[in-house]
Amino acid sequence: MSTVYLPSNASKARIREAENARKNRLEIVKAYSHGQISRRDLIKWGLITSAGALAPIHGLNPFVKSAYAEDFDIPTGAPRSPLFGAQPFTQPMARFDVLTRNPVTSLNPAPQAEANQTQQPVDPALGGGFGPIEGRPPGPIWAHQQFTQLPPNVAIAATMEGAKATNIYNPGVTSDFNSGIDATATINPRFHPLLPDQGPLALWTYNGTFPPKLMQMRYGDPALFRLSNRLPFDVRQNGGFGRHTISTHEHNGHHGAENDGFTGAYFYPGQFYDYHYPIVLAGRNTVNTNATDPRAGGPDDNGGINKIAGDWRETMSTHWFHDHMFSFTSQNVYKGIAGMFNIYSALDRGNEEINDGVNLRLPSGTLKSWGNQEYDVNLMLADKAWGQDGQLYFDIFNFDGFLGDAMTVNLFYKPYFEVERRKYRFRILNAAVSRFFKVAIADASGNAQPMIFIANDGNLMPSPVVLTQLDEQGIAERYDIVVDFSKYKIGDKLWMVNLCEHQTGRKPAADLTLAQALSGQSQDPCVGKFLEFRIVRDPASPDVSQVPATMIPNPDLSAIPVARQRTFVFGSGGSQDTNDPVSTFFGPWGIQTDNQGITANADFGRISAAPKFGTREVWTLVNGGGGWDHPIHIHFEEGQILARNGSAANVPAWEKGRKDVYRLRPGGSVTLTMQFRDFGGMFMEHCHNTVHEDNAMLLRWEIDNAGGAFLKPLPTPIPTPQGVSFEDPDEILPTAL
């Protein structure tokens, strides 16, 4: 493909042609998403090739060259999203909506270790009869691990439902720290005041409302998250894409697998699922077991530390949570099923004033003992697209990856955010489907401004790194930065700028210079300014926050033997040698494990690796091609990158901390080490280009024998509305165990 975006001045005929192609595709997308037709049907009819690409049929595939324009393809698969007159930087960026922390006694029925199998009638659209009220797989294997040792102390309840207006919004700060937004006013589910409200079938979010949700958690304070599925019973009521079965991944929680949002542990409308988040430090069974180290802990409500067992160097800060429904993750996350999850710790208190020699005093605020957000701001970046009716649009037949053409921050189209003349922390999440970002901050003269890079994937760095542009940021990566606005004048403006240009969803096409990105020359509508900072006042009291030269050194693994080495090659041309209709999904992507010669498609009934509980391994992730990039996510425990392309010298300064997403880069490889401890069960490893993940670059690995009722290997859960059954794994790779 050459240049790719349908320009805003494209001819009317070309736009009409593209819109017709979109409508034709939409019919097939609908039928496909309703399960009325299968991937095999599409191949049989010649609509997609066996490699997974949409057949080049004119009027159906908008990537086919047009009769009207010679060299424009359209990455959204549609005409440019109409803006209805919305101009950049004309609406404030609302803060995340903080989910209320309630006592556990507020939950009815009370949470329990094993899934609650109380029966209820099942809607006829789901087959009728009776089924359990909780969709978690039943029995001891899926019971919350260490539920009696780490009982939940706080409850958070939310629903998953279609978009609606609300007047319930908790930004966690007063209006003057939220760009003047009145939190008591009605908030409509829309990307900009001039754009139409999203309908309940177009957008699905936690509680059905804007803005996206934030959970505030702290170490040593176990939580119970009850998510009730209130999506339509009829699978066809999805606005053309999205699946009403859901599974919530708390990325990258160190929790038992029953709380990890396993891709095959999804649940149905009318059910709830209890996720138990113990919020513990990794290594709690072997390191600091007596909980004497004050650096290992969480904030209490009085400025002190609640000490816990585990390795303080495994402290994590910035997580997010999102849907992980098997082969529908890209559609569901894009449809709005994503929030953020901040963890507060002895080191990262969310209070910049407490000076006890442990607290790092990062920019946050001082009003509360912990979790202050006045100067600590979550930013969720995502590219979106919508049809001529303004409703969210997605094309599930673009297996390279889906690109939107409108930049949103916290789901708001190109907003502004008011700041004081002092230091702020920004927790930047890439929540796109397939798009990589590369962030810089420009002043009015187009000069790059310094940013202090403090955390990668929610892990505070051994030392901060000063940068004028961040590295490429792959899907699901979190980059925390500190920006000091004290040197600017009241009335000044700065802009966050995306330098990373895409032509397809396979990989970034180019990293532009700041001048190029600001020039407006790029055909990619998501290049350039996307968030405006307005410096509005001096802080009421002096900025006492700090960015210490030493933050969190890496855990020292040198004394822990390497039990195993494994290799995973991420490539195309995947094939399937088992054929379970529920647990498998094929092509065009796949993963080859341990050089066994088979690039396998996704099957959550297959065990590709089973590290032994309590051991350390070294995994090498290899990109099988140069024409694409893959941000690979390994669930459960943070890893340390040992080498890129075989050499430690290739690991940049900002990747020398811990990570949970590893961008392979085109043709590249990453070697990392991680431990397998504290909990067991089945976890995943997958590309976080969610289109690749869904088609079928995902595998299951598991930790057996973690204590408790563990079988080896673990049976595969098969959810139905009438209850979850189990079957034996349909395949165990020869090198897995």
Rule CB under 5 A: which residues touch Cu ion? 630, 687, 689, 692
Q: Is 19:81 a contact under the CB 8 Å cutoff?
A: no
Cβ of residue 663: shortest distance to Cu ion, in angstroms?
A: 10
Residue 569 pairs in a beta bridge with 592, 622
Residue 244 Cβ vs Cu ion, minimum distance, rounded to whole Å: 26
As measured in angstroms, the least distance from the Cβ of 630 to Cu ion is 3
Of 675, 722, 64, 33, whose CA–CA distance to 311 is shortest? 675
Nearest approach in angstroms of CB 222 to Cu ion is 34
Q: What are phi and psi of 661, to 5 degrees?
A: -125, 130
Q: Are 414 and 382 in contact (CB under 8 A)?
A: no
Based on the number of CB atoms within 10 Å of its own CB, is 573 exposed (0-12), middle (13-18) or buried (19 or more)?
Answer: middle
Query: Which residues are within 8 A (CB) of 198 and not within 5 positions of it... i.e. 6 or more apart?
Result: 163, 189, 190, 191, 391, 392
Residue 325's identity, in one-letter code, is M
What is the Cβ-side half-sphere exposure of residue 230, based on CA atoms within 13 angstroms?
16
Contact between residue 335 and residue 394 where contact means Cβ atoms under 8 Å apart: yes
Nearest residue (CB) to Cu ion, 340 versus 687: 687
The distance from CA 41 to its chain's CA centroid, rounded to whole angstroms, is 31
Q: How many CB atoms lie within 10 A of CB 614?
A: 16
Min dist CB 623 to Cu ion, Å, is 9
Rounded Cα–Cα distance for residues 268 and 246 (Å): 7
- Of the pair 387, 625, the CB lying nearest Cu ion is at 625
- Distance CA(224)–CA(222), nearest Å, equals 7
Compare residues 381 and 687 and give the one whose CB is closer to Cu ion: 687
Exposure on the CB side of residue 361, measured as CA atoms within 13 A = 15
Closest approach of Cβ 590 to Cu ion, in Å? 11
How far apart are CB 659 and Cu ion at their closest, in Å?
A: 16
Residue 421: alpha-carbon gap to chain centroid: 31
Q: Which two tokens stand for residue 608?
A: 């590709």
**Cβ at position 661, least distance to Cu ion in Å:** 11
Minimum distance from CB of 569 to Cu ion (Å)? 12
What is the CA 549 to chain-centroid distance, rounded?
Answer: 29
User: Phi then psi for 637, rounded to 5 degrees?
Assistant: -135, 145
Q: How far apart are CA 569 and CA 621, in angstroms?
A: 6
CA distance 637 to 97: 28
The distance of closest approach from Cβ of residue 686 to Cu ion in the complex, given in angstroms and rounded to an integer, is 8
557 Cβ neighbours under 8 A, 6+ residues apart: 616, 640, 673, 675
Which amino acid belongs to residue 321? F
Is the Cβ of residue 305 or residue 591 nearer to Cu ion in the bound state?
Answer: 591
